[in-house]
Amino acid sequence: MALTPKESGKFIAERAKHVKINDKGITALGNQLLQEINSGSLTVNGFSQTPIHPTENDSWAADWIFVIDTLNFCFWSLENEVGWTVDQQTGYFALCTAINRAMKEGIDILNPKFYSTISEKQLLNIFRSDNEVEIPLFKERLKCLHEVGNSLLENFEGSFVNCIRQAENSAVKLLNIITRNFKCFRDEATYEGTRVFIYKRAQILIGDIWACYKSKGLGYFNDIEEITMFADYRVPQSLLYFNVLEYSNELQEKLKSNYIFANGDPMEVEIRGCSIHAIELVKLYVWNEMDKPDKVNSILIDHFLWDFRRKNAKTILTHILPFHKTFSIYY
DSSP per residue, 168-221:
TT-HHHHHHHHHHH-GGG--EEEETTEEEE--HHHHHHHHHHHHHTTTSGGG--
Any domain includes 268: yes
Out of 15-19, 21-25, 193-197, 315-319, least confident range: 315-319
Instruction: Look at the chain and report how many structural domains it folds into.
Output: 1
Residue 79 has pLDDT above 80, yes or no: no
Any domain includes 155: yes
- Structural domain that includes position 81: 5-326
Report the Cα 110 to chain-centroid distance in Å: 20
> Which residues are CB-contacts of 32 (< 8 A; sequence separation ≥ 6)?
242
- 19-36 average pLDDT score: 97
Q: What is the largest CA-CA distance in the chain?
A: 55
Q: What is the pLDDT of residue 288?
A: 94
How far apart, in whole angstroms, are the C-alpha atoms of residue 281 and residue 228? Answer: 11
Closest among 203, 218, 232, 173 to 54, alpha carbons compared? 218
Out of 158-162, 301-305, 308-312, least confident range: 308-312
Q: Helix count (H) and strand count (E) of the chain?
A: 15, 8
Any domain includes 284: yes
Whether 287 and 293 have beta carbons less than 8 Å apart is answered as: yes
What mean pLDDT, rounded, does the chain reach?
95
Strands 188-191 and 19-21: unpaired
- 35-57 average pLDDT score: 89
pLDDT band at 292 (very low <50, low <70, confident <90, very high): confident
- 113-124 average pLDDT score: 98
Query: pLDDT by residue (tens digit) across 136-161?
Result: 999 999 999 999 999 999 999 999 99
How far apart, in whole angstroms, are the C-alpha atoms of residue 8 and residue 197? Answer: 6
3-class DSSP state of 247: strand
The one catalytic residue in 63, 187, 208, 232 is 232
Q: Count of alpha carbons within 13 Å of 29, Cβ hemisphere only?
A: 30
Query: pLDDT by residue (tens digit) across 242-269?
Result: 999 999 999 999 999 999 999 999 999 9
- 217-234 average pLDDT score: 97
Query: pLDDT by residue (tens digit) across 63-72?
Result: 999 999 999 9
Q: Render the burial of 228-237: b for 16+ CB within 10 Å, e for the rest.
A: bbbbbbbbbb
pTM over 0.85? The answer is yes
Any domain includes 331: no
How far apart, in whole angstroms, are the C-alpha atoms of residue 31 and residue 29? Answer: 5
232 assigned to active site: yes
How far apart, in whole angstroms, are the C-alpha atoms of residue 309 and residue 167? Answer: 33
Whether 275 and 229 have beta carbons less than 8 Å apart is answered as: yes
Closest among 90, 42, 69 to 199, alpha carbons compared? 69
